[in-house]
Amino acid sequence: MLDIKDLKVSIDGKEILKEINLKVNTGEVHAIMGPNGSGKSTLASALVGRDIVKIVKGSITYMGENLLELSPEERARKGIFLGFQYPVEIPGVTMVNFLRTAINEQRRFKNLEPLSSADFLKLMREKQELVGLQSKLTDRSVNEGFSGGEKKKNEIFQMALLEPKLAILDETDSGLDIDALKIVANGVNKLKSKDNATIVITHYQRLLDYIIPDFVHILYKGRIVKSSGKELARELEEKGYEWLSEE
Amino acid sequence: MSDVNILTDIKKELIELYNYNSGQINSNVGLQVNSFREKALSDFNVAGIPDRKNEAYRYTNMEPFFKGDYISEFSHDTFFKINLKEIFRCDVPELDTYVVLLLNGFYYQGNGMQILPENITVCSFAEASIRYPEIFEKYYSQNASTSVDGLVALNTLFAQDGIFVYIPKNTVLEKPLQIINICYSFKNLRIFRRNLIVAEENTKANIIVCDHTLCNRSYLTNSLTEIFANDNSFIDYSKIQNENSLSTQISNTFVNQQKSSNLTTNTITLHGGLIRNNIFVNLNGEGSENNTYGLFLCDQQQHVANYTYIRHKKPYCRSNQLFKGILDGKATGAFNGKIYVNIDAQKTEAYQRNNNILLSADARMNTKPHLEIYADDVKCSHGATVGQLDNEALFYIRSRGISQKEAKFLLMYAFANEIISKINVEYLKERIINLVDKRLRGELSRCNNCNIKCG
C-alpha cells in the first residue's frame, strides 16, 4: 500500500529525515517510536503533504501512485488521514459544516451523490457513539473550547467518519488520561480491517498496550534504526531511548 | 493642479449650484429645514470637501470622487414619471416587510404616504417637513451639527427629500420596515438624501435599508440619517450596501439615544466604488445600550471606510463596536473608531474591536482606535488586527479532503459570520448569508435584483 524509499526531508534548510525506508501493507498496524526531535512528526507531515516539508530525495508510492505529486486534499480523498498531534482550533467553522463539506467533497471524488442533512446527522451520531464523543457538536466550532482529551477523540471521530485506507495517528495518546486513552484505542481497533492500515506515531509504549502493532520501528536522529515485532515497544519502555546511542 | 485647488474648485462649484437652485430646493420643504441652510452654507464654505489633512479622513481621499462629471436634479417631478415597479422587484419573497422605495434620493411617489398600523408614519421627508413642523422643530438637525464635517454641512445645505419615519409612543412595528434606495439614471448623478427617524418612548422597530444602483453610471450619494431613540425604545437598523464600482457613497448616521434605549446598527458593505460610513452615536440617557456593527467585503480598486464616534454622556451606558473586513485585489479599507467618555459617565462599559483579513499582497487596511476617557470608573477595551487567513487552519481543513478554494471560503465565511449572526431578522440573515457567499466566491458583481443587465 505504502512504500517509502530513501526519503530525505528538510525543513527550513535543516535536514530532518535522513534516509527512511518503510513498507506498509493493508491490514497492518505499524508503530513508529522515537525520542523527541527524532523526526516522527516530520514523517507524518511528509505523508500528508504539508508545504513546510521539503522532499530532498527519495520517493513515496501509495497504492501504486507517486504520492509526492498530490496536493494534501487529493491525498485525503485517496484515503490518507492524519490524526493531528495538535488539532487546530477554527473559530466560526462549525463541526457540522466542516465535516459535511469534507464528506461530500470525498463523495464527489468517488462519484457519489452528496449526503442529505438527515443522513449526515445520522452518520455523525453513529460515529460519535463509536468513539465515545458525547459532546453536542452541532453548534460548536472545530476544536474550539475542546479539552485536550476531546480534541484527540475528535480526531478519531473524524477518522471514523472519513473511513481512511491509511490512517496516521501522530501522538494521539499525548495528553490523554487512561480512560480517554482506552476509548481512543478502542475506536482505532474497531475501525481496523484487512483493507486498511494504520501508522501509530508515539513517544511512549502505553498506547501500544491497547493498539497492538504488527511492527514497531524506532526512529532516531532521522533514521529508522531498528524494526521488529511488538516486543520491541516493551523493550524500549524498559530501557528508554538511551541505549540506542550506545548500540 | 494640486489637490487643494481641485477641492476648492469643487467647493465653489457646489456653492454656485446651491445658489442657482436654492429657490427650487427651498420651495419643496418646510421652514425648519430651510432655517439651517445659512449656517450650513457658511460651515461648508469653511470646511469644504474633507481632504487628508482632516484627521477623520486621513485614510480616505475624497478628492477624486468629487471630480466627476455629475448632474444634479432638484425637481421632485423629474423622477416621478419612472415606473419603478417595472424595473425593480425585491427578490426575497419570504421577507415580509413594509417596503418603501426611494429613487435617487427622492421618496418614490408610487409608495404613497403610508400610515402603518398604530399610526406609525412613513412618508416623504419633504412632505413631513411641511406637515409636521412641531416634530421637525424638535428633532431636525438637532444631532447632526453642520460644523462637524463639511459633508454634513453639504447635505444640510441641499437637504430636501428622503424618508421620514415616526413611531409614536408605546407602539411596536410588527413587521420590519424595508427602505430600498435605488439609483437609476442614465447620466452620472449627484444625490443628496436626508432621512429622519424618530422613535418615541416605549417603542420597538426593525428597519432594513438596502442600497442599489440599477444602471452602470456613476452615482455620488451624500446621505444623512438622523435617528432619535427615546426612552425605552428598541431599534434595530441594518444597512446593506450593494452598489456598482463606479459609485461613491457617503453615509452619515447620527444616533441620539435616551434613557434605557437600545439601538443596534449593522452596516453590511457588499460592493461599491468608494463607501464611507460615518456613524455618530450620542448616549444621552442613563442605562442606554448601543451596538455598532459592520462587515465589509471589497476587492479590485474599491475603498471602504468606517468611521465611528461613540460618545458616552451619561452613566451606566454600554456600547459595543465590532467591525470586520475582508480585502482582496488592490482594495483599501479604513476603520477609525472613537470612544469618548464624559467626566460624569461613570460605570460606562465601552468596547471596540476591528478585525481584518487581507487576501492579497496589494490590499491595504488602516485601522485606528481612539479612546478619550474622562471618567474614572469605567470598563473600556479596544483591539484591532490585520492579518491573513490562518495557514494552520487551512492545512487542517485541506487534510480532510476539502479543496484549497473551499477551505479558504470556509474560513472567510466563518470570519464574516460573526457579524451576520447578529442580524435578528431570520429571512434577512439567510439572504445576507447567500449574498456574502456569492460575494466571497466572486459571483456577485452587480445587484442581483437588477433586471437591467448593465454589467
User: Looking at beta carbons, which residues of chain A come within 8 Å of B410?
Assistant: 93, 97-98, 101
Exposed, middle or buried: residue B45 (CB in 10 Å: 0-12, 13-18, 19+)? middle
Provide residues of B within 8 Å CB-CB of chain A: 390, 392-393, 395-404, 406-407, 410-411, 413-415, 417-418
Cell of A140: 460548536
Please state, for a pLDDT cut of 70, what percent of chain B lies above it. Answer: 91
Most distant CA pair in chain A, distance: 59
If we measure between CA atoms, which residue out of B227, B221, B192 comes closest to residue B206? B227
Q: Would you give the distance in Å from CA A35 to the centre of its chain?
A: 18
Mean pLDDT for A11-17 is: 92
> Is A88 touching B (CB cutoff 8 A)?
yes
User: Looking at beta carbons, which residues of chain A come within 8 Å of B403?
Assistant: 73, 105
Structural contact between residues B421 and B263, judged by C-beta atoms closer than 8 angstroms: no
If we measure between CA atoms, which residue out of A80, A146, A91, A93 comes closest to residue B406? A93
Q: Which of these ranges, A67-71, A178-182, B45-49, B73-77, has the smallest mean pLDDT? A: B73-77
- What CA–CA distances, in Å, run from B381 to B267, B337, B370? 21, 12, 11
Q: Which segments of B71-184 are extended strands (E)? A: 71-72, 98-103, 106-107, 114-116, 120-124, 163-167, 177-183
Nearby residues of B406 by Cβ (< 8 Å), 6 or more positions away: A101, A105, B397
- What CA–CA distances, in Å, run from B449 to B91, B100, B397, B428? 6, 15, 34, 15
> Is A167 touching B (CB cutoff 8 A)?
no
If we measure between CA atoms, which residue out of A173, A188, A170 comes closest to residue A50? A170
Q: Which of B404, B413, B414 sits opposite A91 (nearest CB)?
A: B414
CB contact under 8 A, B402 and A50: no
Position with higher pLDDT, A149 vs A223: A223
CA distance A91 to chain B (A): 7
Q: How many helices (H) and strands (E) does chain B have?
A: 12, 21
User: Looking at beta carbons, which residues of chain A come within 8 Å of B411?
Assistant: 90, 92-93
Q: Which of B403, B410, B418 sits opposite A73 (nearest CB)?
A: B403
Q: Would you give the distance in Å from CA A57 to the centre of its chain?
A: 23
User: In the CATH scheme, what is the homologous superfamily, with its name and number, of domain A2-89+144-246?
Assistant: P-loop containing nucleotide triphosphate hydrolases (3.40.50.300)
Phi and psi at residue B224, to the nearest 5°: -140, 125
Q: CA-nearest residue of chain A to B405?
A: A73
CA distance B112 to chain A (A): 44
Mean pLDDT for B390-417 is: 94
Cell of B215: 444602471
With 80 as the cut, is the pLDDT of residue B158 above it? yes
Most distant CA pair in chain B, distance: 69
Phi and psi at residue A152, to the nearest 5°: -70, -40
Cell of B284: 444621552
What pLDDT is attached to residue B4? 56
With 90 as the cut, is the pLDDT of residue B447 above it? no
Which of helix, strand or coil describes residue B207?
Answer: strand
> Is A160 touching B (CB cutoff 8 A)?
no
Nearby residues of B68 by Cβ (< 8 Å), 6 or more positions away: B188, B218, B220
Structural contact between residues A196 and A213, judged by C-beta atoms closer than 8 angstroms: no
The predicted-structure confidence for A65-113, as pLDDT tens digits, reads as follows: 999 999 999 999 999 999 999 999 999 899 999 999 999 999 999 999 9
- What CA–CA distances, in Å, run from A78 to A25, A60, A75, A106, B375? 16, 14, 5, 8, 62
Q: Which of B390, B397, B404 sits opposite A98 (nearest CB)?
A: B397
How many contacts does A have with B, using Cβ atoms within 8 A?
A: 73
With 60 as the cut, is the pLDDT of residue B165 above it? yes
Residue B2's pLDDT band (boundaries 50, 70, 90)?
Answer: very low
CB contact under 8 A, B395 and A50: yes
Instruction: Tell me the C-alpha distance between B273 and B303, whole Å.
Output: 6
Structural contact between residues A233 and A204, judged by C-beta atoms closer than 8 angstroms: no
- Across chain B, mean pLDDT equals 90
The predicted-structure confidence for B70-115, as pLDDT tens digits, reads as follows: 988 888 776 666 776 666 666 555 667 888 889 999 998 777 667 7
With 70 as the cut, is the pLDDT of residue B449 above it? no
With 50 as the cut, is the pLDDT of residue B452 above it? no
Amino acid found at B442: G
What pLDDT is attached to residue A101? 93
With 80 as the cut, is the pLDDT of residue B36 above it? yes
> Is A92 touching B (CB cutoff 8 A)?
yes
User: Looking at beta carbons, which residues of chain B come within 8 Å of A87?
Assistant: 396
User: Looking at beta carbons, which residues of chain A come within 8 Å of B399?
Assistant: 48, 72-73, 76, 81-82, 84
Please state, for a pLDDT cut of 90, what percent of chain B lies above it. Answer: 69
In a mutational test of the A interface, the residue from B326, B395, B400, B404 whose CB has the highest number of chain A CBs within 10 Å is B400
Q: Which of these ranges, B320-329, B335-344, B410-419, B444-453, has the smallest mean pLDDT? A: B444-453
C-alpha atoms less than 13 angstroms from C-alpha of A242 in its C-beta half-sphere: 3
Q: Where are the domains of chain A?
A: 2-89+144-246
The predicted-structure confidence for B255-284, as pLDDT tens digits, reads as follows: 999 999 999 999 999 989 999 999 999 999
CB contact under 8 A, A101 and B392: no
Nearest-10 Cα torsion for B438, B441, B446, B450? -30
Cβ atoms within 10 Å of B330's Cβ, excluding its own:
16
> Is A162 touching B (CB cutoff 8 A)?
yes
Q: Which of these ranges, A122-126, B117-121, B366-370, has the smallest mean pLDDT? A: B117-121
Mean pLDDT for B204-214 is: 92
Mean pLDDT for B438-452 is: 60
- Here the ipTM equals 0.95
Residue A247's pLDDT band (boundaries 50, 70, 90)?
Answer: low
What pLDDT is attached to residue A161? 92
CA distance B441 to chain A (A): 16
Residue B292's pLDDT band (boundaries 50, 70, 90)?
Answer: very high
Which of helix, strand or coil describes residue B188?
Answer: coil
Q: CA-nearest residue of chain A to B404?
A: A73
Structural contact between residues B334 and B363, judged by C-beta atoms closer than 8 angstroms: no
Amino acid found at B324: K
What pLDDT is attached to residue B427? 84
Instruction: Tell me the C-alpha distance between A173 and A33, whole Å.
Output: 12
Answering whether pTM is above 0.80, one says yes
DSSP characters over A95-106: HHHHHHHHHHHH
Mean pLDDT for B15-19 is: 94
Q: CA-nearest residue of chain B to A47?
A: B399
Residue B392's pLDDT band (boundaries 50, 70, 90)?
Answer: very high
Residue A58's pLDDT band (boundaries 50, 70, 90)?
Answer: very high
- Across chain A, mean pLDDT equals 89
> Is A55 touching B (CB cutoff 8 A)?
no
Q: Where are the domains of chain B?
A: 3-285+423-440, 389-416
Position with higher pLDDT, A176 vs B317: B317
With 90 as the cut, is the pLDDT of residue B252 above it? yes
C-alpha atoms less than 13 angstroms from C-alpha of B347 in its C-beta half-sphere: 8
Q: Which of A88, A91, A105 sits opposite B403 (nearest CB)?
A: A105
- What CA–CA distances, in Å, run from B260 to A162, B280, B285, B322? 52, 18, 7, 21
